[in-house]
Amino acid sequence: MTKKVLLLLADGFEPLEAAGFTDVFGWAAIEGLEQVELVSAGFKSPLRATFGFSVIPQALVSELDPDDFDALAIPGGFAGAGYYDDALSEPFLDVIRSFAARDRTVASVCTASLALGAAGVINGRRATIYHQTGGKRKEELEGYGAQFVDQAVVEDGRLISSTGPGTAVEVALRLLANLTSPENAAHIRAKMRVPELDQTWLHRPQV
């Protein structure tokens, strides 16, 4: 049976963070050992990306049934582009809650873990976020009850979080491995010529 992933896009999302999922799952759909499908969706169309251009998602959230999907992927974005207006809205959070309630994998990149926090799904869980000197985002994440872990990518059960746009491909590959198999993810990594994960990089503190 084909595994389906919903790529949930907020207005103001960061393009590279979304592209990690679209490329990995696009390659997997063509070259993979198992069938997968990624569907991008937002609450309006077109959506404005962080750096000013417009993107047309494949569907509106209102046109889809979350129960049809096996996992949820969420890119982060910038406050100045309006990301949090969308990503912290109740309709957006309700989508996250619906996946968590069904024990489906939820993968977030960078600041998208704040949406997981606002949805109430990371209380008491290990998670990470983009972290700079001063620790604003770290404090926000911990304010939702998360246990902050200063690693590039963090998995806790069916939750995956990461630290920035450079981690997006790695998050997507982990999600692919969880949904299909580690062998399939390794196969796509090789096809895409993505280097093997450097464990030093994985554990290096952000600041």
Q: 């994985």: which residue's tokens?
A: 202
**Rounded CA separation 191/201 (Å):** 22
The DSSP symbol for 2 reads -
Q: At what angle are helices 182-192 and 15-31 packed, to 10 degrees?
A: 110
Instruction: Give residue-wise pLDDT tens across range 159-204.
Output: 999 999 999 999 999 999 999 999 999 999 999 999 998 889 888 9
> Which residue ranges form the domains of the chain, and what is each CATH number?
3-203 (3.40.50.880)
Instruction: Give residue-wise pLDDT tens across range 75-106.
Output: 999 999 999 999 999 999 999 999 999 999 99
Q: Is 124 helix (H, G, I), strand (E, B) or coil?
A: coil
Whether cis (ω within 30° of 0) applies to the bond prior to 46 is yes
Its pTM surpasses 0.85: yes
Cα–Cα–Cα angle for 164, 149, 72, rounded to 5 degrees: 55
Q: Which residues are catalytic?
A: 110
Q: How many C-beta neighbours within 10 Å does residue 14 have?
A: 24
